[in-house]
Amino acid sequence: SFQTSLEKRFAHGLQFQAAYTWSKSLDQASSFEETLNPFHFNWSRALSLFNAAHRFVINYYWEVPIPKHDGWLGKVVNDWTISGITQFQSGFPIRLQTQDDNELISSTFFLGTTPPQLTGPLQTQNPKALQTLGGQTGHFYLNPTQFSDPPQGTFATTPRSICCGPGLNNWDITFGKRITLTEARYFQFRADIFNLINHTQWVNPDGNFSNTTFGQILSTREPRLVQLALKFYF
């Protein structure tokens, strides 16, 4: 991996830190749920399911430079802060599998799961659009008509994971306000907004070719969420 970061220490009411990571991880299985090709383990070697090639994160804290006011006006406009975390990340590899057992490796005690055969260059779809592909209607990211079971008694040449699913573009921000009553007593107000822009954050599609929902995205990450808090310090 390659990692780099930039940091601005707190001065003049502002601090921030930005970090970028480029990485690549390969393995033969990313969890205990995955099975290895019993004839040659290296045939299972592919991108790790947790691999994120690019990741950029920035966090910041800013004391808004508003001129100080006295009285009730000061209690409204003084001491505002803005802080947050912004993340951009490329998608995770999609785990491909079929349980149709054309490879003839399953038994009573062992269910072999190997990838289906990709029949051409991978073409991803726009999941925002409702489409009908392969006789099924849904929000497709993979085109199921591009895949098939391998011929009986053979293995697909497709890797067990294919790059890559939808990426992440997320903005979390907090607006803070201190309301001073006395030197030792004050209120602290916070408005936390998660997924500020309310982007639809897609998760990976169904990668099981044996399912009728293969290639479809069936869920998303959380939409915008607003959380308000008021604390009294004394």
The whole-number average pLDDT for the span 219-223 is 93
d(CA 215, CA 137): 11
Instruction: Report how far apart, in Å, the C-alpha atoms of 91 and of each of 22, 114, 134, 158, 176 are.
Output: 13, 22, 25, 19, 32
Q: What is the pTM of this model?
A: 0.81
109 vs 101 pLDDT, higher one:
101
| Per-residue confidence (pLDDT) for residue 112, from 0 to 100 | 61
Q: Which of 13, 16, 169, 34 is nearest to 91 (CA)?
A: 169
Tens digits of per-residue pLDDT, 8-51?
A: 999 999 999 999 999 999 988 887 766 666 677 787 888 999 99
Domain that holds residue 156: 2-233
* Least confident residue range of 17-21, 81-85, 144-148: 144-148
Cα 193–chain centre separation: 18
The token pair at 45 is 């070697």
Q: Which residues pair with 179 in a beta bridge?
A: 187
Tens digits of per-residue pLDDT, 45-73?
A: 889 999 999 999 999 999 999 888 888 88
How many folded domains does the chain comprise?
1
| Per-residue confidence (pLDDT) for residue 109, from 0 to 100 | 56
Residue 153 CB-density burial (10 A; 0-12 exposed, 13-18 middle, 19+ buried):
exposed
